[in-house]
Amino acid sequence: MMVRVARQVHGRCVVALCAVTLTLAFQQVLVAQEASGVSEAALRAAAPAEWLTNGRDQAETHYSPLDQIDVDNVDELGLAWSWIIPKSGARLEATPVVSDGVMYATGPKSFVYALDARTGEKQWQWDPGIPDERQGGPSICCGDVNRGVALYGDKVFVGLLDGRLVGLDRETGLVDWTVQTTPRGADYSVTGAPRVVKGNVIIGNGGAEYGVRGYVTAYDAETGDQVWRSYTVPGNPADGFENEAMREAAATWTGEWWIVGGGGTVWDGMAYDPEADLLYVGTGNGSPWNRDTRSPGGGDNLYLSSILALNPDTGEPVWHYQTTPGDDWDYTATQPLMLLDLPIAGRDRKVIIQAPKNGFFYVVDRLTGELISASAFTDDLTWAIGVDVDTGRPIETPEARYGRTGQGVYLSPGPGGAHNWPPMSWNPATGLVYLPAQNSSSYYSKADEFEYRQGVWNTGLGRARREDRPERPELTGPRTVLLALDPITNTEAWRVVSDGAHGGTMSTGGNLVFRGSGDQLIAHDARTGDELWSATVGQGTATPITYELDGTQYVSIAAGRRVRRVYTFALDGLPLR
């Protein structure tokens, strides 16, 4: 069995994984994989040599125990191979996955490819041929991005911009099945990576800026048949409610919110706890953004900007925690979720953590939904002064509700959030979470008149001329910064100011944190934040991963805007030119 040792970190004891070679149990799992593809047992085991899911494990930690590359030799990393992604479009946001020596990932416009993970040689590629929006393609809020694929059995699963979910044959890339997960012609899109839970492929969607009703759906991995669908906000009461949760949620809305859909889309963060048998999803902003337009009588507008725990067999909600009640600012809670077991205040707690757009870092009991702690992680935060731990509600500033005051106002963070899609990572040896954070502000004002129109943004915000706005406050913090946070105390351990836009982070057993920043792939000492190595890979970095083949550990990331590539590094690699 894998050995566990106790170490003292910051004056307390945390559990750290110290074995990095495959145990007999893992070897048995891999043998089973070779015979039948990626199994449920393999997903749960999360063998160190592979990267089978978006976050490497179902807890979405983005942590690998591999330690061949460590703080002492990371400066010897060189390029093992690279591969040009033959598809243009928006920035790269995908986290690759690796199984049986093959890497699977996505590029712009839902382009899918499979590469030999040893050499970078192309195994196959698949282009769904989705046109741009101006050529009749789907309406897309924030670029034709895609965050990756899921593996299960003998298939690769990918969500497409036009709302389809597709099962591809792992060996050939040929389409096995396809299903339309969204209404044809509606303003939905899919940019997130699917997850597989108990033989079902779980997928959400985006589109709240345009005006849609959010939901998450499970499809049978073998056939593509729909197993269940769970809505995140209530529909028209005259049509009845899908379940009691939607009936209760409707009591927190007013007016005719269903005309514009309400929002609450599930476009990114998910996690699964097999012991508790709970599926966790994060929900998005309201549609329109302005609450006084979509719900003129006020209300919390459940389940916008919330963490939801669902029964994975039925999709029925078990509990919820709303990070931003009555969201007025596009402060989604769709950002990456992570499951940890932590000793907090003398108790062993099973928690779910999240750093959503609103600027607070949340530690929540993942069995009950009870808030344990919430602290600001961003330097510029003016919409609230804190979170009341007893009620779980933010303490809003008087000027934050611009719809009620009738006064436009600059607030921090802006709609891009204090943290967005780039994944954070965890290291059990240091007890720290590595978060790519940012500081921003934006001007919010309520539109004097609002009329819903399909195919365009329906935010309900005003368009005040610059000369009619107050002076924009100067930011007090850096535009982007890497934070190391202690989730037990909910405090900052160290920070590194960044020079460019964030990619995601990944931590390893070699006491390293790898991250994309600007045009660089950077390795930091996980304990101190000291920069130990970097390589120029191109602007628009995605999220790094690591894996091991034939005794060699590799680190890989997709990056670049003008020329998009997958870069893979190893200790015996060549200098990057």
Q: For residues 310 and 317, is the Cβ–Cβ distance under 8 A? A: yes
Q: Is the predicted pLDDT of residue 22 greater than 60, yes or no? A: no
Helix (H) or strand (E) holding 44: helix 40-45
pLDDT tens digits, residue range 414-448?
999 999 999 999 999 999 999 999 999 999 999 99
pLDDT tier, 36 (very low <50, low <70, confident <90, very high otherwise): low
SS3 content of the chain, % helix, strand, coil (to 5): 10, 40, 55
Model pLDDT, residue 188: 96
- Average pLDDT for residues 528-534, to the nearest whole number? 98
Model pLDDT, residue 460: 93
Q: Is the predicted pLDDT of residue 339 greater than 90, yes or no? A: yes
Model pLDDT, residue 7: 31
Residue 178: strand pairing partners = 166
Catalytic residue among 273, 327, 330, 380: 330
pLDDT tier, 287 (very low <50, low <70, confident <90, very high otherwise): very high
Query: DSSP string spanning 344-409?
Result: ETTEEEEEEEE--TTSEEEEEETTT--EEEEEE-SS---SEEEEETTTTEEEE-TTS-HHHH---E
Structure tokens given for 154: 């003998």
Looking at every residue in the chain, the average pLDDT score rounds to: 93
Global pTM reads 0.93
The fraction of the chain above a pLDDT of 90, given in percent, is: 88
Model pLDDT, residue 9: 34
Cα separation, 556 vs 508, in Å, equals 13
- SS3 state of residue 436: strand
Model pLDDT, residue 8: 32
Sign of CA dihedral 298, 301, 304, 306: positive
- Who has greater pLDDT, 112 or 10? 112
Cα separation, 98 vs 223, in Å, equals 23
Model pLDDT, residue 2: 31
Q: Is residue 330 annotated as a catalytic residue, yes or no?
A: yes
